[in-house]
Amino acid sequence: MSEEILVNVTPMETRVAVVDNGATQDVHIERTVNRGIAGNIYAGKVVRVLPGMQAAFVDIGVERTSFIHASDIVSLDSKGREDNSRNSDNISDHLHEGKKVIVQVTKDPLGSKGARLTSQLSVSTRYLVLMPQTDHIGVSQLIEDPVERERLQALLAQGLAAEDMTDAGGFILRTAAEGVGLEEISADLRFLKRLWAAVSRRARAASKAELLYEDLPLHLRTVRDLARSSVERIYIDSRESHAALQEFCSEYVPEVSSRLEHYVGERPLFDMHGVEDEIQRGLGRKVDLKSGGYLILDQTEAMTTIDVNTGSFVGRSNQAETILKTNLEAVSALARQLRVRNLGGIIIIDFIDMADAEHRRQVHRTLEKAMQRDPARNQITGVSELGLVEMTRKRTRESLERMLCEECPVCQGRGVLKTAETVCYEIFREIMRDARAYENDTLMVLAAQSVVDRLLDEESANLSDLEEFIGKTISFRAEPNYSQEHFDIILL
């Protein structure tokens, strides 16, 4: 299997795609404006202690002065570990003006409010959170199975011993760690070891307010999380980001360095590998299959439904075979769509009915195999009485649609509009109401072009009957910014 990672960098956004044998599998997008400073670690200087509020203002080198409360300050012993014996709620016991502090941002600055800080530090990877000031080992509460919880704790202990990190501090095994092996845990441990050594070094050396650590930008995070051994090449289309990535890799993931490549081709990187088209397709409702069949994907609040359809007329002679072929093709297409669109939660698949039990089993097996290759945790839960396949898929980031789209303001997300005919009849009813209530001789209807056209064409006979019946004149004006459902009636 040959996987490639493509990184497209612009000042506004960074996009990363994972391409497997030429087919786009994952798309990650990070927009610059959405990046805050929460999670960043700074060396800061106390500017003012506020004993009345049990808080202090700290300069961390960002625009507004940040804020730390006494309850967010931990006392440390000489080895840098939490020292509960020296706990005090009195801010003056911890801080004084001019003191250098190492802090982490817990809340982004908002409006006139500065960032909120804590002195309890933590850094995370895909599977682990390192809390260097504690020695507590924990497992995410979302992993419920006691056997799995125990397995992960044992795995972590094994990894810590192997990496010579038994005194590295406390760890939390994140929900995403469920089911992973020693190799993944150890890779994260090695990364955290190097990272924390670098942060500590910078913290000791810092003499003024300074950024010590920030959560990695998307392309670095992706390389850290996705650069498995199956990844053959990583292409980056920005010289600057390529250099930064090169530096990042040599410091933290040296095994990846040789696979980085600066893409300098004429054609945009995402165009060349068909990713741009794939993103557009990933936003549509219909996905065509090569055999002529197609998928219809509908995302609702509660679940995603995928309907498999045969395309044109299916011949009688080889009907069962054609249906099987279409369903099998649908399996690989939908497995890929789930990843590209990053759909989560309950997923219901309606395959084309298969009379042959062996065909049904074959489709089911193929689906299981396809879903095993999906890095997001998923489970095929069963087949309903009506033949619907039910499954769940865990998602850790927003779906492609949420990321790139907003609700349609015309139909408010329903996906359908009242027909011009329906709106015409609503207008007629409203005119009747107004004609009874008011004495004016003339009424003016403001509506969308399509509705006005219909009133003056197909509905013209009804309209003149209505005018006669109410004894009033009705005039019209097409309003280009009205949607088809939107109209107003004005008394003149």
CA distances from 287 to 63, 158, 369, 486 (A): 48, 46, 21, 32
**Closer residue to Zn ion (CB): 409 or 471:** 409
Which of these ranges, 276-284, 312-320, 377-385, 407-415, lies near Zn ion under the rule CB under 5 A? Answer: 407-415
First-to-last C-alpha distance (Å) of the chain: 73
Answer left, alpha or beta for residue 377, where phi above 0 means left and psi between -120 and 50 means alpha: beta
Residue 231, number of CB atoms within 10 A of its CB = 18
Q: Which residues contact 1 (CB under 8 A, 6 or more apart)?
A: 20, 21, 230
CB of 450 to Zn ion, least distance (A): 15
**Closer residue to Zn ion (CB): 408 or 432:** 408
Among 110, 162, 408, 456, binds Zn ion (CB under 5 A): 408
CB of 303 to Zn ion, least distance (A): 20
- Residue 443 identity: L
CB of 399 to Zn ion, least distance (A): 18
**Closer residue to Zn ion (CB): 150 or 298:** 298
Q: Which two structure tokens, joined as six digits, stand for 285?
A: 């409702």
CA distance 341 to 24: 11
**Closer residue to Zn ion (CB): 411 or 446:** 411
**Cβ–Cβ < 8 Å for 92, 98:** no
**Closer residue to Zn ion (CB): 122 or 483:** 483
- Bridge partners, 349 (sequence order): 306, 389
Which of these ranges, 148-156, 196-204, 231-239, 408-416, lies near Zn ion under the rule CB under 5 A? Answer: 408-416
CB of 279 to Zn ion, least distance (A): 20
**Closer residue to Zn ion (CB): 34 or 412:** 412
Pairing of strands 473-478, 3-9: unpaired
CA distance 419 to 366: 43
CB of 417 to Zn ion, least distance (A): 7
Q: How many residues bind Zn ion (CB under 5 A)?
A: 3
Residue 383 interacts with Zn ion (CB under 5 A): yes or no: no
CB of 402 to Zn ion, least distance (A): 16
**Closer residue to Zn ion (CB): 142 or 408:** 408
Which of these ranges, 55-63, 281-289, 401-409, 451-459, lies near Zn ion under the rule CB under 5 A? Answer: 401-409
The CA-CA-CA angle for residues 16, 14, 217, to 5°, reads: 95
CB of 405 to Zn ion, least distance (A): 11
Which of these ranges, 73-81, 308-316, 403-411, 442-450, lies near Zn ion under the rule CB under 5 A? Answer: 403-411
CB of 416 to Zn ion, least distance (A): 8
**Closer residue to Zn ion (CB): 322 or 483:** 483
CB of 478 to Zn ion, least distance (A): 20
**Closer residue to Zn ion (CB): 154 or 408:** 408
Among 348, 411, 446, 478, binds Zn ion (CB under 5 A): 411
CA distance 252 to 248: 6
The alpha helices in 342-419, defined as continuous H runs, are: 357-372, 400-404
Residue 410 interacts with Zn ion (CB under 5 A): yes or no: yes
CB of 406 to Zn ion, least distance (A): 11
CB of 374 to Zn ion, least distance (A): 30
Which of these ranges, 100-108, 292-300, 399-407, 411-419, lies near Zn ion under the rule CB under 5 A? Answer: 411-419
Query: Measuring CA to CA, which residue among 78, 81, 40 is closest to residue 170?
Result: 81
**Closer residue to Zn ion (CB): 243 or 410:** 410
**Closer residue to Zn ion (CB): 411 or 489:** 411
Which of these ranges, 40-48, 144-152, 302-310, 402-410, lies near Zn ion under the rule CB under 5 A? Answer: 402-410
User: Tokens 């982004």 — which residue?
Assistant: 108
CB of 486 to Zn ion, least distance (A): 13
**Closer residue to Zn ion (CB): 67 or 482:** 482
Which of these ranges, 216-224, 380-388, 400-408, 470-478, lies near Zn ion under the rule CB under 5 A? Answer: 400-408
- Residue 38 identity: A
Residue 449, number of CB atoms within 10 A of its CB = 13
Query: What is the full DSSP assignment across 257-287?
Result: GGGEEE---SS-HHHHTTHHHHHHHTTSSEE
Query: What is the full DSSP assignment across 31-56?
Result: EGGG---TT-EEEEEEEEEEGGGTEE
- Spatial strand order of the sheet with 123-124 comes to 123-124, 128-131, 170-173, 137-139
- Spatial strand order of the sheet with 3-9 comes to 23-31, 13-20, 3-9, 231-236, 260-262
Residue 306, number of CB atoms within 10 A of its CB = 23
CA distance 104 to 215: 11
Residue 110 interacts with Zn ion (CB under 5 A): yes or no: no
Binding site for Zn ion (CB under 5 A): 408, 410-411
